[in-house]
Amino acid sequence: MADLDALRSRWPHALLPAREGEGHPDPEPYADELLRRWSEPQRKYHTLDHLAAVLDHVDTLAEYAADPAAVRLAAWFHDAVYLPERSTNEERSARLAERALPEAGVPAARTAEVARLVRLTTGHDPAEDDPDGQVLCDADLAVLASPPAAYAAYTAAVRAEYHFVPDDAFRAGRSAILRQLLALPRLFHTPHGRREWEATARYNLTGELEMLSSAEGPTA
């Protein structure tokens, strides 16, 4: 379980470099609100642990970003609104950023960039000339390159998050997502991601897809 105090202490590292001017409100209430959202009971994978992991990966990849502060803010907001039964979570998370960040002292242009990055996590397919998008998307997908036990825990948490979906429907939907990811020319876009994560992630995705297909049983 992620340490709440440790996560709270990381929020100023994202917010303060993104501000301009003086006389801004205390950062702590914004951190508390985001952490409250990330702690909601319906979350089984998109939890504080996921937030901490994405922030860690952003730190690893920060050298490739054009605006690391914007990427870190986008990491904080990218699943801040999350209901498993809805398909609008990224859009609603982006809108939350658009409301909260100007009040917190972030200028309009950087707020717009944060919201753009959050929306980009819907498809994880950043452009070749989008280093910030590449860093955020790589950080979000790095879980796919986990060692076997961690990857199994990830897939179990995803299934638990969608506990209300019948098995057949879940297998079909999850398989479609895996095929969509495997069809991307590459899963990772930063040099680190391509070098360290790409092959393992494809191996994990292919193995999970095979397991889901075998669970369907023989067809007539």
Runs of H (alpha helix) within the chain: 4-15, 28-38, 48-61, 68-77, 89-104, 108-120, 131-141, 148-161, 167-183, 191-196, 198-215
Nearest Cα to 89, choosing from 157, 40, 142, 155?
40
**Alpha carbons 196 and 190: distance in angstroms, whole number:** 10
Please give the average per-residue pLDDT across 42-60, as a whole number.
98
- Tens-digit pLDDT profile for residues 63-117: 999 999 999 999 999 999 999 999 999 999 999 999 999 999 999 999 999 999 9
> Residues of the chain with pLDDT > 70: what percent?
98
pLDDT band at 22 (very low <50, low <70, confident <90, very high): confident
Nearest Cα to 173, choosing from 187, 188, 184, 158?
158
Which pLDDT value is given to residue 220?
A: 37
Which pLDDT value is given to residue 134?
A: 98
Among 31-45, 68-82, 206-220, whose mean pLDDT is lowest?
Answer: 206-220
- Tens-digit pLDDT profile for residues 156-175: 999 999 999 999 999 999 99
**Alpha carbons 132 and 116: distance in angstroms, whole number:** 10
Looking at per-residue pLDDT, the higher value among 215 and 176 belongs to 176
pTM score of the predicted model: 0.94
pLDDT at 219 over 50: no
pLDDT at 217 over 60: no
Work out the number of other CB atoms within 10 angstroms of the CB of residue 117: 26
8 Å CB contact between 159 and 143: no
Task: Indicate the average pLDDT of the chain.
Answer: 95
pLDDT at 216 over 90: no
Residue 95 is encoded by which pair of tokens?
A: 């809108």
Which pLDDT value is given to residue 84?
A: 96
> Residues of the chain with pLDDT > 90: what percent?
92
Alpha carbon 59 to its chain's center: 14
pLDDT at 218 over 60: no
4-215 fold: Catalytic domain of cyclic nucleotide phosphodiesterase 4b2b (1.10.1300)
Looking at per-residue pLDDT, the higher value among 23 and 19 belongs to 19
* Domain range summary for the chain, segments of one domain joined by +: 4-215
- Tens-digit pLDDT profile for residues 118-135: 999 999 999 999 999 999
